Chains A and B, each alone.
Chain A
Amino acid sequence: MNGIHDMGGMQGFGRVQIEPDEALFHTPWESRAMAITVAMGASGQWNIDLSRSARESLPPPVYLSSSYYEIWIRGLEKLMLERGMVSHAELQTGSMQQAPIAIAHVLRKETVDAALKTGSPTHRPAASTAQFKVGDSVRARNLNPQGHTRLPRYVRGHLGTVQAVHGAHVFADQHASKPMPPFDDTAQWLYTVVFEGTELWGPGSDALLQVSVDAWESYLEAAAP
């Protein structure tokens, strides 16, 4: 979706505020929010793309006025509400009013280290040959899907060059298309596509700038250089 999260190239947010000797967490609740989100991510009730989708589809004013971990918590609450795992009343009070639903997995202390060390690799065997190779000219398609996508607006319609081929990876848009497991983990070829700064930002912009995105094959079409 063309959401507020898709910020590349927006203007007006001011200077980057750099905090010297920044603490890892600024309040006690931030560390708990991070850990709760990571632990619930292991429940198997959603995947990382559904999780991103939940955050980026928060109302734009809420997204912009929420701190980072607040966005995480709002996204998590939304995911759980959608799945009937919790109710609004329960979230407000913290007391259980309805029985829990069965979930695929509960992350235990004993399995935390292994889970973090393994992660969730997205690389998959390729089901087809790659349409593009390094050096090919490609154009980012002008796509505006309602659902989750990882093709940022600022490259859509622009001409770029394939700089790397990463093999086939679970296609984020499709991975977020089904709310409940089993998820659609269809893989597509993934490429690093580099754009000249002047192609993206027009004449007079930084001539020594290049910007790349990682783009799945269906985001791209062949183009004449």
Chain B
Amino acid sequence: MAITETREETGTDLAVASPLVPAPVSFLGTGEHTVVGVVYILASILFGVAGLVGWALTGIHGATGSFLSDSVAEQVFQTSALGLVLLVLVPLFLGIGTYVVPLQVGARTIAFPRAAAAGLWTWLLSSGLFIVAASIDGGFGGGRPEAVSLGLLSVLGLILALLLGTVCVLSTAIGLRAPGMTLDRVPMTTFALLAGGAVWVLTLPVLAANLLLMWVDLRYGDGSLSGSQGQFAQVAWILQQPQIYAFVVPGLGIVADVVATFTGTRLERRGLFLVGIGAFAVLGIGAWAQPVLFPDASEQLVWQVISVAQVLPVLLLLGGLATALRKGRPALRGALGLALVSMLVLLLAVVAGALLAITPLDLRGSGSAEVGQFALVVAAGLTMAAAGVAYWSPKMTGRMPSDAPAKLGTPLMLVGGVLAGASLVVAGFETKFSGIADLLDALTWISVVGAGILALGLVLALLGLLSGTRHGAAEAGADAWGTGQTLEWKYASPPGDHVLGDLPVVHSPEPLLDEEA
């Protein structure tokens, strides 16, 4: 089968259960979207823990000044920050999308399964090279040109792989929808992945162009294009607003799906949710605001307006979620707690972003507030993904997971996220309030503790997923929570190779509720 082909649909009515990750031989050669998705999720959670530990180490260095050498601390910080986006946030959401989107739209497979598998393996290989390069002084501005060259190529590989996987998910969402499932009827997670994925497709190539030029300059040129000190500055725009918001867009859909399921109600004014998610994605296009190309981008009115406007879609979504909670009967599940907490952290992040845009506050001067805002966005994204993992874990494992890790993780992700990010945002006020300058070390230590708590929360998310594989866990039915609304809850848990016989006809965004009615 060519890589450009999609598998012929030869469905049967039978669903065959499969383990979370199959035996190594079939696992290595498979293009099954369920396996590809789970491998993305498992690997990116592990990378997430490592990235947060790296983040904490640089924080310790910042507080003590002697924990690492300055150059090592800088490289660890840059590697951790970029890794938290390209090795954690994007692949985590991509993994969830790879697993869930085909099921949600009623497709029996992902479009281009071989390409999706190629994307996964390229991402894993590039991740390994990225870590190896960083560990041998090959981070941005590193001292060994060959290692730096390897590092730049590995990031190019990461981008290529993530784009490949994203195109597969987007093609599935657009091209393989069940009859009657118009774009305004697709489940929220699928819609959010469409919106966010489209932004990734348009902006990650811009980062790739930067990296390619840097690599040619380093390898064959005279270094005048970027210079070793300018390398990270040339890619740092993806870690700053507005671009950083683009990487958590899929999480908004996850939150909406989780809340709808656990409140047992249809989302009212669904159109506003779609507008909110779409607006958040569009405002998150940040490739134009590269400080290296436009040093005064953050001084421009358009940047400041966008930074403030980013608060509005979040408020809109929070209003919709509050309505669902008020009108429904919320089930006290860990996934619901994580989903709600993630929106609170995201609200903090966009408010911090709006504060950054207010020039008289002078928050952009020290850099602490920008780093803190990045940490808040990452924490929100990780919490959204943790909610998604807890929500779909019965589908993935075929058994009901223990809810304790998700319930315990809810306060941890909230506290960890706020401590890791908000403390640094407060530190950014040092030029405005003299007392804060004396507290900088303490605030840095608080951020370190927050990063550690976040890492613990991620470990709990992983344990929650794995708890579904333990012996003695109750089997999950097709509709594991009993209140599923979208098509993935129609399939057996876990879905087999051929999950459906006949394609369902969809008449609304909540086809399972239509059936029950």
A-B complex is real: no
| Interfacial residues, chain B to chain A (CB-CB below 8 A) | none
| Interfacial residues, chain A to chain B (CB-CB below 8 A) | none
